[in-house]
Structure 1
C-alpha cells in the first residue's frame, strides 16, 4: 500500500490536483457518503468509482449493458480523505488500486470535459463538428476517455445541462404545458386554456376535455386586416400522442398566401367546441367577422358554429379536393369498374360547369341516370343525401369570382409543421408541438415583414409570368369588343370567354411587369380566372392588345404625376405603419427594457423570489425543477463569453494513389516467422491502448 500526505492552501488547488491525478491514473474518485462537519474541521472521503457492489434499480426487464457494470463487486483500496480547516486542506491519499485494471471504457467523462462540451452545444455547434474535433486530436495526444466520445454521450450532456429543448420545462407533459401557459400569461397569446381534470363554469366542456386556443398580437393584426376576405379552417392530427387535433383558422394575405391567425388544440371537434373556439376569437378582436368566403372540409360543425358567433359569409364553400376525395372513396359502391369511370367523369363535368341553368339541367339528368341503373342506386342514395341540396357549396357555377377553390393553404401549412419544424417525427409531447407551432408563426410573421418591405416571389407571381408566356401564342384576331367588355374565343375549343374591367385603381403587389396591370384589374369567365383566381392568358392577351390602341397611353395605363406621388406617399406610410406594428409583435416583452442596469435589477429581484421559493420547497421533484432551470446558465454564458472555435480538418488535394507505384514481391513468411506472428497476434491487455493508439496514428492525418 502506498500512502501520501499532502497539503493545499485552498480547496480549488485540491480540485485541480484531483483532476490531474484522475487523468494520469485513468481513474475516478467519488464521494462515499456525505461530508462530516465539526466545529474545527470538515472531512470528506473519496473512493474509487469502481469500488462496491452493483445494485439494480430496475425490474430486471432489460439486459445489462454490453461492457458490464462499473462496480467490481468487491472493495478497492484507493481512496482520498480530505480534511478542511480554516487555513489548510490536508489529504491522506491511498493510491494503490486493487481488483481491477485502469480501463478507459469504465471511466466517466470529467466535469471539465462535460462543461466544455456543454458550452459548445450551447453555442449551437453541430454534434458532428464536435466529434470531428475530438477525434482529430488523437494524433497528438494520449488516448483518453474524451476520445471515446459518442453521439449518445453528447445527447446525455445535452439533457443533463437542459440544452436539448427549451420547450420541455418538465418531464410531465401536462406540467410542462401548464408552466408554458403561466409563462406567457402577460403576453396574452393564450385566449383560452382548459386542462384535463378541471371543470370551468364559463365553458360547456367536460372534466376530461382539453382545449388550448393560441393567437398572438401579430396574428391578431393579420386577422383584423384580411379576415373580411377569405377564412379557411381545417384540422390535422399526429402532433401529439393523446389524440388532440390541431384546428387552424387561416386567412390569405395580399399575395394570396395563407397566414395562420389562430390555433385550437382540443380533443373535440363538434359544434359546441368550435363555438367556444370562435367565441374566444371574437372576445379578443372585439367585433364579429363577416368574410366574403368561408371554406372548410365537408363537416358542418365549423360553419354552424361560425354563424352562431360571427356573421354569415357570402360564399360558403367546400374544398374541391375534399369533395373529389369523398366521391372517389364512395364510388366503391358501384361494382363495375367501367361504370365507376363513367360516373366519375360525369361528376367532374357536373362540378366544373359554370352556367347555373346548364348545371341544373345536368344535375337532373345525372340523378335520373343513377336512379334507372340498379348498380348505381346505392351511390344515388349517397349523392342525393349529401350533395344534391348543397350544390352551392361544391359546384363551380356557384363559386364564380369567389377567389378560392381548395383548402391547400392549410394542408401545406400542416405538412410544413410536421415535416420541417418537427423533422417528420410523430410528436408524442404536446409542449414540443406547441413550440413548433409558435416557431412557424414567428417565421410567417418575418415573411410578412419581408413582403411589406421587399416583396416576395410567390406562387401567384410565378403563375402570372407563366400565363404571360402562354399568351404569346394567341392572336389579337380572337378579341372582339362587347357591350360590357371584350369577348375572346378559346384556342382549344369552340367556347368563348368574356373579360370585364373590375378594379382600375387597385395598387396590390400582384402585378405583371410586362403588361403593367394588376392582378385585380380584369376578370375573365374562364376556369383559370373565375375559379382558380389566376391572371389568365386571355387577360394578358387583352392587355397587350390594348397597348397597341392609340388611346391606351392616356386612358388605360397612365396616371397623372400627382396621383402617382400621392399613391407612393400613401404606400410608404402603410409600409412603415405595418412594419412597426408587426415588428412590435415579434419582439418578446422580456427584451423591451430601458437599460442593462434595469434588467440586472429585475433579474436580482427574480433571484430573490426564487430563494424565497427554495426555502418553502419540501420535495425532491421541486428541487429537480429548480436545478434543471439553473443547469444551462453556466455553459450558455461560457459560450457567449468565450466563443468556441472548432478546428475542422483541412481538405487535401485528391492524389491518384495507384500512379507510379512499383510492383513489390509478395511476402511469404517462414515457419519460424509464422510462430512469432501467431504468438503476437493477441496483445497483452496492458498494451491494448498503446497498440490502438498506434493504429489510429497511422490512419489519421
Structure 2
C-alpha cells in the first residue's frame, strides 16, 4: 500500500499528511490533472514514515505507510528516480503508480498563505460519492444506505422487520416496506384549543398520545411539547413469580416504535404550531387499549360528588349513544372504571375539616341541619368526645306534621366506618308507605342523646305531636324519651325483635332440642294469642309447666322476670298480640326495609369513609322518597296491605258458607 495523495491541486501547494508511522520525508510528487506543466512537481511533507530516506531529486524514495484503509484509486503519483523494491515504490522514472487514500486527515499547510479548502477526503464505499468530513459520510450512510450502527446507544427496532436502526426509521419504512408516513402541519390559537383537538382526535381515531416532553416558561405556559403514541414502548419481561395473573389483553405496549407523534411549538405571537405524524405502524387502532377521555372522567367524578350510585352513572353514560350508533368509550364504562375514578379524583376521601363547611351549606338549603355538635367542643351539656348531627328536610317536616299517627324508631350501626350510629324516625304517608322523617347521626345512643334529638325535632316542628302508636325495638330508652318530650301514647315492640330475643335465650338456656322446641311452641302461643283472657290462662299454664322443671327452670324465670310479671321490663301490653288488635301494626318492617335499602342500594353494601359521604347518601335518599311519594299519589298506587286484603276478600267469596255456619238450633243445643 502506498501513500495517499490528494487530487486536483490548483497550484503548487504544500501538503501535510498525518497518521503515518515514524519518520519524515521531503520530496517532489507529480499530481496529474493539475495546472502544473508536465514533469513539474508539488513539494509535500510526509510525517510518521518508517525508515524514510530522501536525499535529492532523482534518488530512490523508500516509503512505508500505516493505518490507511483500502479504497478505489483516485489519482496517479509520480515518484522521481524511484526504482526500488521491498515495500517501496517499484517504478521507473516518469511512470505513475495508482493509489487510494482513505481516513487520512488534513495536516497543517507548510505555507501559511495556502489552504486545502474543500478538498474531499472521505469516500462512500457503496456509491463512490466523496465528502469533506466524516460526519457527512455517516449521515449519508444512514439516510441513503440504512447502515446499521450497532454501536449506537439509541437503536430503534423496525416494528415490521425487527431490524435495528440508529435513526431515520421513517425513511426505512418507506424504502423497505412501502409505508408512506403522513405528516400534517396544524395551527392553534392557544394551548386549550390544542387540548380540545387532541381529545377529539383520540376519541375519533381510537388512539392515545402520551406526553413525552414538555417545556414551560416562568408563567407555566407551554413553550414546546412532544406527544408520542401510547402503544410505543418495550414489553416488560415475563416474571416467573408474580402475585397477579396477567391481563387478558396482555400489555398496551407493542415492543417497538410507532412513528405517530405530535410536536407542538409556541410561536412568538402566542399561537401554536403542531407537526402531527398521523400514520400508526405496528398495531391496530383498537378500542380495548384506549383510555377513557378526560371529559367523561370529569362527568363521572361530578356524578360521584353529587351522590349518584355507580349503577345510575353507567346508565347515564350508556345513554350518550348518538345517532351514528357507534360505540364509544363512554358506553364501555364499567363499575371498576368508576371506582378507579373515585380514587383518582378523591371523590370519597374528602377531608374532615370540610365537614363544617358542608354543614353550613346545608343549613342554608331546604335540607336543613337542625343541630351539629363536632368532636372537640363541650357545649349543651355534651362532652368533647361527643358527636351528633340532627337532620330534617322541609319535606320531612311537613310529612311528620300530617302523618304522625304511627311512628317507628330504630337505629343502625353500619352507616359509617367511624362507628357512627344512625337513628331514624319514620311515619306512614297517605298510601301507608314508610317515609323517613328525621335522622340522628351520633357516636352514642343513650337517653340523653335521644331526648335531645326528640326535643330538637319538636322545636323544629313548632308543635307537639299527637301520636297514637310508637313502635320501637327492644330498647326502652326510645319509649322513655318519647314520653318525656311528646307525652304518653301506646308503645309497642316490634314482634320480629321479640321473637329474636325469645329464640336467643331459648338456645342459651335449654340444651335439649326436643324440650327447647316444646317450650318455643308454648312461647309462640303466648305471643300470638289474640284473646286477653285466654292470654292470662296460657301465661299461668306456661309458668306452672316450666317453672318447676330443671331443664326449663332458667328460661321460665327469665320470662317471668322480663316479660310476664306486671312490673317486668317488657310488659305484655307492648309485645303480646292480644294488646295490639285493631291497631294496624305488628312489626317495624318499614324501618327495617329502609335501613336495608340505605345499606345495599345507596351505600353498595359498604361503610362510608367519612361523615360527609354519609350525609350525601341521606340527602340522596330524602330526594328519592320525596319524588316517589308524589309518583304514588299521581299514578294510582295501591298499597301492599290493600292488595292483600282484596285477595283475601276474593278468596272468601269462593268459600261455601254452610261449611262454616252452625244452624241456630244446633247452636242452642250445644249451649
Rounded Cα–Cα distance in structure 2 between residues aligned with 1:197 and 1:347: 46
Rounded Cα–Cα distance in structure 1 between residues aligned with 2:640 and 2:555: 38
In the other structure, the counterpart of 2:497 is 322
1:53–1:72 Cα contact (<8 Å) kept? yes
The structure having more radius of gyration, on CA atoms, is: 2
Deviations 1:441-478 (A, max 9, x none): 33332343345455421112212312322332263998
- What are the residue-to-residue correspondences of 1:130-169 with 2, within 5 Å? 151=334, 155=338
- What are the residue-to-residue correspondences of 1:106-117 with 2, within 5 Å? 113-115=293-295
Q: Sort the Cα spacing of 1:44 and 1:283 in 2 relative to 1 into closer, same or farther, 3 A.
A: same
Q: Sort the Cα spacing of 1:474 and 1:250 in 2 relative to 1 into closer, same or farther, 3 A.
A: farther
In the other structure, the counterpart of 1:224 is 401
In the other structure, the counterpart of 1:465 is 646
- What are the residue-to-residue correspondences of 1:120-519 with 2, within 5 Å? 126=315, 129=318, 151=334, 155=338, 171-172=349-350, 174-175=352-353, 177-187=355-365, 189-194=367-372, 196-207=374-385, 209-227=386-404, 229-313=405-489, 315-332=490-507, 333-388=509-564, 389=568, 390-425=571-606, 427-428=608-609, 430-453=611-634, 455-472=636-653, 473=655, 475=657
1:194–1:200 Cα contact (<8 Å) kept? no
Deviations 1:376-409 (A, max 9, x none): 1111222122112212211233323333211111
TM-score (structure 1 length as normaliser): 0.54
Rounded Cα–Cα distance in structure 2 between residues aligned with 1:432 and 1:495: 69
Q: Sort the Cα spacing of 1:119 and 1:328 in 2 relative to 1 into closer, same or farther, 3 A.
A: closer
- Give the alignment's Cα RMSD to 1 decimal: 5.2
SS at match of 2:465: coil
Rounded Cα–Cα distance in structure 2 between residues aligned with 1:364 and 1:49: 86
TM-score (structure 2 length as normaliser): 0.56
Measured after TM superposition, the shift of residue 267 of structure 1 is 2.2
Greater share of helix: 1
SS at match of 1:295: strand
Deviations 1:298-348 (A, max 9, x none): 1112112222222111x1111111111111111121122222222122212
Rounded Cα–Cα distance in structure 2 between residues aligned with 1:345 and 1:21: 74
Among residues 28, 44, 52, which one is paired with 2:209 in the alignment?
Answer: 28
Among residues 17, 20, 44, which one is paired with 2:224 in the alignment?
Answer: 44
Q: Is it true that 1:83 corresponds to 2:261 in the alignment?
A: no
Q: Sort the Cα spacing of 1:475 and 1:153 in 2 relative to 1 into closer, same or farther, 3 A.
A: closer
Rounded Cα–Cα distance in structure 1 between residues aligned with 2:487 and 2:330: 67
Rounded Cα–Cα distance in structure 2 between residues aligned with 1:392 and 1:346: 18
Deviations 1:24-62 (A, max 9, x none): 997736373442369xx98334364889999xxxxxx99
1:27–1:102 Cα contact (<8 Å) kept? no
2:234–2:253 Cα contact (<8 Å) kept? no
Q: Sort the Cα spacing of 1:176 and 1:382 in 2 relative to 1 into closer, same or farther, 3 A.
A: farther
Which residues of structure 2 form unaligned runs of 5+? 1-167, 172-182, 236-241, 304-311
Measured after TM superposition, the shift of residue 410 of structure 1 is 0.9
Deviations 1:97-139 (A, max 9, x none): 9xx977979999589x54378679989674884899999869x
Rounded Cα–Cα distance in structure 1 between residues aligned with 2:275 and 2:617: 55
Measured after TM superposition, the shift of residue 374 of structure 1 is 0.9
Q: Sort the Cα spacing of 1:64 and 1:322 in 2 relative to 1 into closer, same or farther, 3 A.
A: closer
Deviations 1:557-597 (A, max 9, x none): xxxxxxxxxxxxxxxxxxxxxxxxxxxxxxxxxxxxxxxxx
Measured after TM superposition, the shift of residue 191 of structure 1 is 3.6
SS at match of 1:255: coil
Rounded Cα–Cα distance in structure 2 between residues aligned with 1:375 and 1:89: 92
1:192–1:211 Cα contact (<8 Å) kept? no
Deviations 1:56-81 (A, max 9, x none): xxxxx99898667979999x998836
Measured after TM superposition, the shift of residue 365 of structure 1 is 3.2
Rounded Cα–Cα distance in structure 1 between residues aligned with 2:647 and 2:389: 43
Aligned residues: 462
Instruction: Tell me which of the two structures has the higher relative contact order, counting C-alpha pairs closer than 8 angstroms and 6 or more residues apart.
Output: 1
